[in-house]
Structure 1
Amino acid sequence: MIQKLLDSGLHWEKKEFGRYGFLKTSGSTDTDIYFVEKGSVRIFMMDENEERIIRFGYSGNIIVSLDSFLSGKPSELYIQAIKKTIVRTATKKDFYEFIRSSEENLKFWNSILEDLVLQQMEREKDLLISSPKERFDRVLKRSPKLFQEVPNKYIANYLRMSPETLSRLKKS
């Protein structure tokens, strides 16, 4: 279905971001939706002076700063390339025209939103689990590709554990 979206006639602009390049910074309003063609990104916020990674995106994923995209207001979220990344972007205006153009497109958007809600619920469960091993096992089962696409230091941050703990868990 995502390929159909890319081939739909919706205007997509291709953009390249170097390693550590920002697609979005905190305090900005983001009215774009992104399709990650190649590479990987992290979505995070700052908590005092510490980064808190809340999500990743890699090849084949649609990502969006959903709070800002839906509300039209600034967001505290950053979206940053982890390595050289190529994304296709579509504006909110163009994307909404696309989803309003047919029942099938609206159903597609609803499925994206439902998936994001379910991902968020899984993420919240992960954070409530006190055992690092359980968190690791849940994420490995849910997203094995993550461990091939994203460096361990970011995964450890996402899992709320030290890189050393993650390394031990991966070895066991």
Structure 2
Amino acid sequence: MTEIIELSNETITLQRNEFLKVKGSIDTNIYFIESGSLKIFVLDDFEEQIIRFGYKDDLIVALDSFLTGRPSDFYIQAIKKITLKIIPKNLFVDFINKSDENKSLWINILEDLVLQQIEREKDILTTSPKERFNRVLKRSPKLFQEIPNKHIANYLRMSPETLSRLKKS
């Protein structure tokens, strides 16, 4: 992972609520979060549907735009002031193509992402709010220190009141 981060030659800082990208924009960069937190979401009838969070030491990307070079449906917005290292796609692709080991690293990153997404979809479609809460708590305990409850509730597809009750029990 360190090799990927070293590809960055630029750092940016976003203030709370500032957007890194909005729907309809093309963004083929990968970002490494040095500090702060953000959310990735889509808008559904003007309501946010959070699909992922990022915080310190995470790599994040608008994967649809990164892979296709076309506009993305995703918004990426700072939750807290955030500092990001920018890794341009061309440097990343050069890095991947340098060795089989680098290609394997990229494949592992993509496989992990796909598995996380499948697990999340199963959670939302088939489990109760309590089960979703417990699974996320087990999988990502750091989430509850980094992200405000209202965003976690949205991500878990429950009301903030339900999340609050589950946290107390």
Same fold (TM over 0.5): yes
Q: Supply the RMSD in Å over aligned alpha carbons.
A: 1.0
Distance in 2 of aligned mates of 1:112 and 1:130: 26
Contact 2:42 2:73 in 1 (8 A): yes
The aligned runs of 1:18-57 (5 Å cut-off) are 18-57=15-54
Of 4, 8, 13, which residue of structure 2 is paired with 1:11? 8
User: SS where residue 80 of structure 2 aligns?
Assistant: coil
The aligned runs of 1:1-172 (5 Å cut-off) are 2-7=1-6, 10-172=7-169
User: SS where residue 44 of structure 1 aligns?
Assistant: strand
Distance in 1 of aligned mates of 2:104 and 2:164: 41
Once the two structures are TM-superposed, the CA of residue 117 in structure 1 deviates from its matched residue by 0.5
Once the two structures are TM-superposed, the CA of residue 12 in structure 1 deviates from its matched residue by 3.2
Once the two structures are TM-superposed, the CA of residue 129 in structure 1 deviates from its matched residue by 2.6
Normalising by structure 2, report the TM-score: 0.96
Distance in 2 of aligned mates of 1:150 and 1:54: 13
Distance in 1 of aligned mates of 2:98 and 2:8: 14
Once the two structures are TM-superposed, the CA of residue 4 in structure 1 deviates from its matched residue by 3.4
Distance in 2 of aligned mates of 1:89 and 1:3: 14
Name the % identity.
Answer: 63
1:111-133 CA-to-partner distances (Å, cap 9, x unmatched) read 11111101111111111134110
Distance in 1 of aligned mates of 2:41 and 2:8: 27
Which structure 2 residue ranges, 5 or more long, are not aligned? none
Distance in 2 of aligned mates of 1:154 and 1:4: 32
- Give, as a single letter, the amino acid of the residue that structure 2 aligns with 1:44: F
Distance in 2 of aligned mates of 1:31 and 1:126: 29
Distance in 2 of aligned mates of 1:130 and 1:6: 36
User: SS where residue 39 of structure 1 aligns?
Assistant: strand
Distance in 2 of aligned mates of 1:115 and 1:23: 23
- Give, as a single letter, the amino acid of the residue that structure 2 aligns with 1:4: E
- Give, as a single letter, the amino acid of the residue that structure 2 aligns with 1:168: R
